[in-house]
Chain A
Amino acid sequence: MLNVLMVGAGQCGNRILDAVNREAFGGGKFSKYYSRQKFPSRVETIAVNTAINDLKEMHYTKAKDRIHIPNLHGVGANRIVGKQCFIDNKDLIMRNISERGEFDVGFVITSTSGGTGSSFSPLLIKELKGKYDFPIYSVVVLPFREEGTIYLQNSAFCLKEMYDSGADGIILADNQFLKDVGGDIKSAYDGINNMVAERLLFLLEALDSEMMMVTDLGDFQTVMSGGAGFATIGFAKGDGSNTIRSVIHDSLSPSGLLFSSNVFEEGSRAMIIMRGDRKYMSIDDISSEIDKLASHIGHVFKGVIVRNGELPKVLSVLTLESTSELENLYALAVEAIQIEKDKRERMDIRKEADATFSMIEGLEPQY
Chain B
Amino acid sequence: MHERSNYCVIEGISKLKKNRIVGYSLLLFFFLILLTGSVSAESKTINTEISASSTSGDGYQINNYVVQITFIRESRAIIDLYELKESGDSIKLDFTTFSDQVATYKVGEGTIVVKEVNTTTSKTLVEIIVTDITVEYQKYIDGGVDRAIYIGEPSLELSKEVDKTSANIGDTIRVTIKAINSGSGTAQRISIDPGFTPGFTFKSTIYSTYPTELPVGTSYTQMYIYEVEAAKGGTFTLSPAIATYSSSVFEDDYTAPSTRPTVTVAEEAIETSNLSFTISQDKTELKRNEKITFTINVENLKDVPASMIKITPIIPNNLTYHSGSEDIDMINEKPIIQKSIFGSRYEGEYKFTFKADKVGANILTVKLTYNNGVEDISQEVTSDMFYVERGKYDFMAEYPIYVYITPVIIIIAIAGWLHWRRSQFRM
B421 touches A32 (CB 8 A): yes
Q: Which 7 A-B pairs have the closest CB atoms?
A: A63-B427, A62-B424, A33-B421, A56-B427, A33-B418, A55-B427, A62-B425
Give CA–CA (A229, B377) in the complex, Å: 112
Which residues of the other chain, A, contact B98 by a CB distance below 8 angstroms?
Answer: none
Give me 5 A-to-B residue pairs in the complex whose CB atoms sit less than 8 angstroms apart, sorted by A's number: A32-B421, A33-B417, A56-B427, A59-B425, A60-B425
B331 vs chain A, min Cβ distance (A): 55
- Please tell me if B2 contacts chain A, counting CB pairs below 8 Å: no
Give CA–CA (A359, B424) in the complex, Å: 63
Which residues of the other chain, B, contact A59 by a CB distance below 8 angstroms?
Answer: 425
Give CA–CA (A66, B421) in the complex, Å: 16
Tell me the chain A residues, 37-75 only, with Cβ under 8 Å from chain B.
52, 55-56, 58-64, 66, 68
- Please tell me if B4 contacts chain A, counting CB pairs below 8 Å: no
Which residues of the other chain, A, contact B417 by a CB distance below 8 angstroms?
Answer: 33
Number of A-B contacts (CB under 8 A): 23
- Please tell me if B426 contacts chain A, counting CB pairs below 8 Å: yes
The residue among B424, B426, B427 with the most chain A CB atoms within 10 A of its own CB is B427
Give CA–CA (A68, B417) in the complex, Å: 26
B419 vs chain A, min Cβ distance (A): 10
Complex partner residue of A61 from B418, B422, B425, CB under 8 angstroms: B425
Give CA–CA (A55, B424) in the complex, Å: 13
Give CA–CA (A59, B424) in the complex, Å: 10
B418 touches A63 (CB 8 A): no
Give CA–CA (A68, B425) in the complex, Å: 14
A66 touches B418 (CB 8 A): no
Give CA–CA (A52, B417) in the complex, Å: 26
Which residues of the other chain, A, contact B427 by a CB distance below 8 angstroms?
Answer: 52, 55-56, 63, 66, 68
Binding site for B on A (CB under 8 A): 32-33, 52, 55-56, 58-64, 66, 68
- Closest chain A residue, CB of each to CB of B422: A33
Which residues of the other chain, B, contact A61 by a CB distance below 8 angstroms?
Answer: 425
Which residues of the other chain, A, contact B423 by a CB distance below 8 angstroms?
Answer: 63
Main secondary structure of the interface of B (DSSP, over half): helix
A94 vs chain B, min Cβ distance (A): 21
Give CA–CA (A62, B423) in the complex, Å: 9
Which residues of the other chain, A, contact B425 by a CB distance below 8 angstroms?
Answer: 32, 58-63
Give CA–CA (A68, B427) in the complex, Å: 10
- Closest chain A residue, CB of each to CB of B417: A33
B340 vs chain A, min Cβ distance (A): 67
Which residues of the other chain, B, contact A66 by a CB distance below 8 angstroms?
Answer: 427
Tell me the chain B residues, 406-427 only, with Cβ under 8 Å from chain A.
417-418, 421-427
Give CA–CA (A64, B423) in the complex, Å: 10
- Closest chain B residue, CB of each to CB of A30: B418
Give CA–CA (A291, B353) in the complex, Å: 92
Which residues of the other chain, B, contact A64 by a CB distance below 8 angstroms?
Answer: 424
Tell me the chain B residues, 24-56 only, with Cβ under 8 Å from chain A.
none
Give CA–CA (A63, B425) in the complex, Å: 5
B420 vs chain A, min Cβ distance (A): 10
- Closest chain B residue, CB of each to CB of A52: B427
B426 touches A63 (CB 8 A): yes
Give CA–CA (A56, B425) in the complex, Å: 9
A193 vs chain B, min Cβ distance (A): 17
The residue among B418, B423, B424 with the most chain A CB atoms within 10 A of its own CB is B424
11 additional A-B residue pairs with CB within 8 Å, beyond A58-B425, A63-B424:
A32-B421, A32-B425, A52-B427, A55-B427, A59-B425, A60-B425, A62-B424, A63-B423, A63-B427, A64-B424, A68-B427
Which residues of the other chain, B, contact A58 by a CB distance below 8 angstroms?
Answer: 425
Which residues of the other chain, B, contact A33 by a CB distance below 8 angstroms?
Answer: 417-418, 421-422
Which residues of the other chain, B, contact A62 by a CB distance below 8 angstroms?
Answer: 424-425
B417 vs chain A, min Cβ distance (A): 7
A35 vs chain B, min Cβ distance (A): 10
Give CA–CA (A146, B37) in the complex, Å: 176
B92 vs chain A, min Cβ distance (A): 131
A207 vs chain B, min Cβ distance (A): 27
B57 vs chain A, min Cβ distance (A): 137
A58 vs chain B, min Cβ distance (A): 8
The residue among A33, A58, A64 with the most chain B CB atoms within 10 A of its own CB is A33
Give CA–CA (A33, B417) in the complex, Å: 8
- Closest chain B residue, CB of each to CB of A53: B427
A27 vs chain B, min Cβ distance (A): 16
Tell me the chain B residues, 193-215 only, with Cβ under 8 Å from chain A.
none
Give CA–CA (A52, B426) in the complex, Å: 12
- Closest chain A residue, CB of each to CB of B426: A63
Give CA–CA (A68, B421) in the complex, Å: 21
Give CA–CA (A60, B425) in the complex, Å: 7
